[in-house]
A and B are shown apart, each in its own frame.
Chain A
Amino acid sequence: MASRGPAGSRVGNSRFAQFKLVLLGESAVGKSSIVLRFVKDQFDSYRESTIGAAFLTQTISLDDNTTVKFEIWDTAGQERYKSLAPMYYRNANCAVVVYDITQAVSTSGRLWELEELELTSHIQASLDKAKQWVKELQRQANENIIIALAGNKLDLVTEQPDKRAIQTADAEAYAREAGLLFFETSAKTAENVRELFTSIAKKLPLDQAGPRNPRSGGRGGVELRPDTPGTQAGGPCSC
């Protein structure tokens, strides 16, 4: 799997590594909101659904001399995009699988009441959907992929505890069993969002990105280029 390793370089004492990250999960659980919070430190309550997928980058410093750059694929959660998912996770070093802690029942059809029997096969807790993604990732993706499970919309539960539909302990137990990182996050209040990405970064094989394969890494179909001005992402927007 060396060919799937991250691109990285070491200049003097500082390390720089670049990783591909993919967000998966059912629609309307807050994938894009988590990314928007992480990349731009913004939140938009009335986000429209993602169409296709969005590609963003964000660089974080782990410590004084370690910098990690995430290339993030924020995918759309709708069923019809499912066939495209492999393209996004195929060479990913890490994945964040998101579910909605307030949704025991799928949010699909939230605009219209679900009344048809034919639809019941689609109804599932967003956590179940997340488990499916994890399974698929573990089967199909890069075998060293680091997967984090994120239960989003923590702010809703903090406000009204009775809105919680999925218990922390249940999800945590599942995450432990499947070997996943686990966080309950709120893109709205930013709670645990940065922590989520930081802990992923810490778990990534930074040393592989060191002098042993300076920027020779990822050639498994992904084109990883050294930082050009064109792809440089700014820090969180000050506005």
Chain B
Amino acid sequence: MTLHGENNAPKQSLHTNSSDSTATITQKGDTGGPHEAQEERPPLPPRPSLLGVGERPATPLSAAKRPALQSKPTTALSSVDIQTLSFPDGSRGTFSTPASRSVSEAGQRRPAGTSTPSSRKASNNGSEFDDSASLISYAPTLRANGDLASLLDEGLNAQSPAWKLLSSQADTVNPFEMIDYEDNALLNFDHEFDEIEGVDSKGGNEEEVLLQWKAKLKHYLILSSAGKPIYSRHGDQNLINGYIGIIQTIISFYQDVKDPLMGFTAGDTRFVVSIEGPLYFVAISRLGESDTQLRIQLEALYMQILSTLTLPTLTQLFTNRPNTDLRRPLEGTETLLSSLADTFTKGSASALLSALECLKVRKSQRHTINNTLLKAKTEKLLYGLIVAGGRLVSVIRPKRHSLHPSDLQLIFNMLFEAGSVKAGGGENWIPVCLPGFNNRGYLYMYVSFINAHDGGESSHERPPSTGGSREDEIAILLISADKESFYELKQMRDDVVTELQKNGSMDIIKAAVRQGRPSTTDIVPGTQLRHFLYKSRANVQFMMPSFSPHFSSLLARRR
């Protein structure tokens, strides 16, 4: 349905160089492979936020604007065309062009100066933009162009009778035809994270569930090389088993000829494959992300699995028994994988830039906080961190050991995105492997949350699980290599908290958290700028202004 539906979409917006093949597959070694392209590509495209000033208004793009944009990318890849691929839903030969793929490529390849010379100039004030970073942040703004309208027809929210009505109606008249692209995407995006209901015992709602599944804009699948499903963001096993089999067959085919499959495109849907030892990772996206982005996301999922199991365990499991079912060892971490995946789907600056965000406090104040941590440091401590509102306040570490951003991303995801640690109350002692630090063994992490809105004595107690969002949690993380050091680290936590309260740092942190990010006008008075991202490569840090007031919805933020 998804793919057929494309026929409703305005065809004229598709590329002129569309080939007749039903699906296009890019293989590694292909001239235009995403990786190579990434590395060689010299010109920096303009950043999205800057573009927004001139060419791209913050209001949704008008439908007229879109085709104009799309007509540019005529440099689609010289990809290898492969004959019919049978697609999961059994439909063949109905897809037209590699739309999403060329969109992202187009974004990257577009000569920087052509359309917006002025905004290009403006980007200089951001100084050292990381090449890939700015590319990446640009790509998602060129979103799926093909069948957004038809997406609507698919009864995404099949539970609601209103939707059912609409869906049935849609077969004859498409009531949304006239509606702007972005608006349509928005409607769908709101449902992107809805749970798919299970297939009921009689299988009566199978069709419906399948539709819901296909309506998702983004999928992640993890399977073993033996074809065992390990994880999928949407849908239960019954639903995905068939697809897992197909994907495994496709991937193994290329594995056998020593020419690993990197990705392929069907309609406006991009499939990216990443192979890590015995594990296959597949990202399926209709959001117009680049291969590089998707690959980074898959890598992060792999890191999450390693952080649960460690590399030796993983290797051993599959050496001993190649058809191991990894779901059991990973049991309970599905939520971590899902929250990680959803972070990517929503768009996470820290994932995009492989950098971390710090809480804005004065240098002298941070110095005081650092010293407090250092003074309380116990022998067993490896890393000590204070994190507030999802942003780093302070970190102490042994000499010559830095903390890898991807490790921090895993930790932050575990603590702030997935609910389990936060909801539990009390203090936590978590064995975790930080693959960036050492993928062979576990470290032990002491976690204690302090609520920013509480005052004084009661600040040790966590808020009720319903209250306290990510934005106002202060967490103290103490990481040790010794699994017996809980009580020592707990003592240290108590000392640190007492000291922070005594020297006033706690209030400073709380105030800074409450204040949130500065708005763009605070940084540059009177600016037209709505939003920006700045990454300091040397510090692996980035900063961004507050989303409000301009970007309040999920979708708006994604852009």
Cβ of A60 within 8 Å of any chain B Cβ, yes or no, is no
The distance in angstroms between the C-alpha atoms of A57 and B325, with both chains bound, is 37
B458 contacts across to A, CB distance below 8 A: 234
The A-contacting residues of B in range 489-519, CB under 8 angstroms, are 490-491, 493-494, 497-498
B498 contacts across to A, CB distance below 8 A: 230
The distance in angstroms between the C-alpha atoms of A119 and B326, with both chains bound, is 11
Contact status B464-A239, CB under 8 Å: yes
The A-contacting residues of B in range 431-458, CB under 8 angstroms, are 431-432, 445, 457-458
Contact status A119-B467, CB under 8 Å: no
Cβ of B40 within 8 Å of any chain A Cβ, yes or no, is no
Cβ of A174 within 8 Å of any chain B Cβ, yes or no, is no
Cβ of A179 to closest chain B Cβ, rounded Å: 29
Assuming A49-B335, A52-B430, is B329 touching A80 (CB within 8 A)?
A: yes
Assuming A80-B309, A228-B494, A234-B458, is B328 touching A54 (CB within 8 A)?
A: no
Assuming A55-B427, A56-B426, is B418 touching A40 (CB within 8 A)?
A: no
Which listed residue (B328, B424, B493) contacts A119, Cβ 8 A?
B328
Cβ of A93 to closest chain B Cβ, rounded Å: 16
Contact status B332-A231, CB under 8 Å: no
Contact status A47-B423, CB under 8 Å: yes
Assuming A119-B325, A229-B457, is B467 touching A87 (CB within 8 A)?
A: no
Assuming A55-B486, A111-B334, A222-B487, is B428 touching A48 (CB within 8 A)?
A: no
A112 contacts across to B, CB distance below 8 A: 229, 236-237, 327
Cβ of A233 within 8 Å of any chain B Cβ, yes or no, is yes
Assuming A51-B414, A81-B431, A119-B325, is B425 touching A40 (CB within 8 A)?
A: yes
Chain B interface extent, by class:
35 or more
Contact status A44-B309, CB under 8 Å: no
Cβ of A184 within 8 Å of any chain B Cβ, yes or no, is no
Which listed residue (B331, B418, B425) contacts A79, Cβ 8 A?
B331
* Total A-B Cβ pairs within 8 A: 129
Contact status A48-B335, CB under 8 Å: yes
Which listed residue (A39, A47, A109) contacts B328, Cβ 8 A?
A109
Cβ of A104 within 8 Å of any chain B Cβ, yes or no, is no
A116 contacts across to B, CB distance below 8 A: 325
Which listed residue (A79, A87, A221, A237) contacts B329, Cβ 8 A?
A79
Contact status B236-A51, CB under 8 Å: no
Cβ of B532 within 8 Å of any chain A Cβ, yes or no, is no
Cβ of A181 to closest chain B Cβ, rounded Å: 23
Contact status A80-B308, CB under 8 Å: yes
A47 contacts across to B, CB distance below 8 A: 420, 423
Cβ of B483 within 8 Å of any chain A Cβ, yes or no, is yes
Assuming A113-B237, A118-B325, is B430 touching A108 (CB within 8 A)?
A: no
**Residues 228-260 of chain B: 1 if any A CB is under 8 Å from the residue's CB, otherwise 0?**
010000001110000000000000000000000
Assuming A57-B426, A87-B483, A230-B497, is B332 touching A51 (CB within 8 A)?
A: yes
B464 contacts across to A, CB distance below 8 A: 40, 42, 237, 239
Cβ of B421 within 8 Å of any chain A Cβ, yes or no, is yes
Contact status B236-A111, CB under 8 Å: yes
The distance in angstroms between the C-alpha atoms of A85 and B490, with both chains bound, is 19
Cβ of A232 to closest chain B Cβ, rounded Å: 7
A39 contacts across to B, CB distance below 8 A: 425-426
Contact status A49-B332, CB under 8 Å: yes
B421 contacts across to A, CB distance below 8 A: 51, 54
Cβ of A157 within 8 Å of any chain B Cβ, yes or no, is no
A108 contacts across to B, CB distance below 8 A: 328, 331
Contact status B424-A74, CB under 8 Å: yes
Which listed residue (A49, A87, A109, A223) contacts B420, Cβ 8 A?
A49
Contact status A48-B420, CB under 8 Å: yes
A81 contacts across to B, CB distance below 8 A: 431
Which listed residue (B328, B467, B493) contacts A239, Cβ 8 A?
B467
Cβ of A192 within 8 Å of any chain B Cβ, yes or no, is no
Cβ of A52 to closest chain B Cβ, rounded Å: 3
Cβ of A105 within 8 Å of any chain B Cβ, yes or no, is no
The distance in angstroms between the C-alpha atoms of A27 and B332, with both chains bound, is 8
The distance in angstroms between the C-alpha atoms of A79 and B432, with both chains bound, is 15
B460 contacts across to A, CB distance below 8 A: 229-232
Cβ of A84 within 8 Å of any chain B Cβ, yes or no, is yes
Assuming A84-B431, A119-B325, A230-B494, is B420 touching A51 (CB within 8 A)?
A: yes
**Residues 201-239 of chain A: 1 if any B CB is under 8 Å from the residue's CB, otherwise 0?**
000000000000000000001110100111111100101
Cβ of B55 within 8 Å of any chain A Cβ, yes or no, is no
Assuming A111-B334, A233-B461, is B431 touching A52 (CB within 8 A)?
A: yes
Cβ of A9 within 8 Å of any chain B Cβ, yes or no, is no
Cβ of A117 to closest chain B Cβ, rounded Å: 11
Cβ of A36 within 8 Å of any chain B Cβ, yes or no, is yes
Cβ of B238 to closest chain A Cβ, rounded Å: 7
Cβ of A7 to closest chain B Cβ, rounded Å: 13
Contact status A36-B425, CB under 8 Å: yes
Cβ of B124 to closest chain A Cβ, rounded Å: 45
Of A51, A76, A81, A222, chain B has the most CB atoms within 10 Å of the CB of A51
Cβ of A50 within 8 Å of any chain B Cβ, yes or no, is yes
Cβ of A135 within 8 Å of any chain B Cβ, yes or no, is no
Cβ of B193 to closest chain A Cβ, rounded Å: 14
Closest B residue by C-beta to A36: B425
The distance in angstroms between the C-alpha atoms of A32 and B494, with both chains bound, is 24
Assuming A111-B327, A112-B327, A228-B494, is B426 touching A42 (CB within 8 A)?
A: no
Assuming A229-B457, A233-B461, is B329 touching A55 (CB within 8 A)?
A: no
A237 contacts across to B, CB distance below 8 A: 464
Contact status B332-A76, CB under 8 Å: yes
Cβ of A122 within 8 Å of any chain B Cβ, yes or no, is yes
Cβ of A124 within 8 Å of any chain B Cβ, yes or no, is no
B420 contacts across to A, CB distance below 8 A: 47-51
**Residues 310-329 of chain B: 1 if any A CB is under 8 Å from the residue's CB, otherwise 0?**
00000000000101010111
Cβ of A53 within 8 Å of any chain B Cβ, yes or no, is yes
List of 3 A-B pairs having minimum Cβ-Cβ separation, nearest first: A52-B430, A56-B426, A49-B332
Task: Show 5 residue pairs from A and B whose CB-CB distance is below 8 angstroms, ordered by the A residue.
Answer: A54-B426, A55-B427, A55-B429, A116-B325, A122-B328
> Can you add 10 more A-B contacts, CB < 8 Å, to A118-B325, A221-B484?
A42-B465, A52-B428, A72-B426, A78-B332, A79-B331, A80-B329, A225-B491, A230-B493, A233-B461, A237-B464
Interface on A for B, CB 8 Å cutoff?
A: 27, 32, 36, 39-40, 42, 44, 47-57, 72, 74, 76, 78-81, 84, 87, 108-109, 111-113, 116, 118-119, 122, 221-223, 225, 228-234, 237, 239
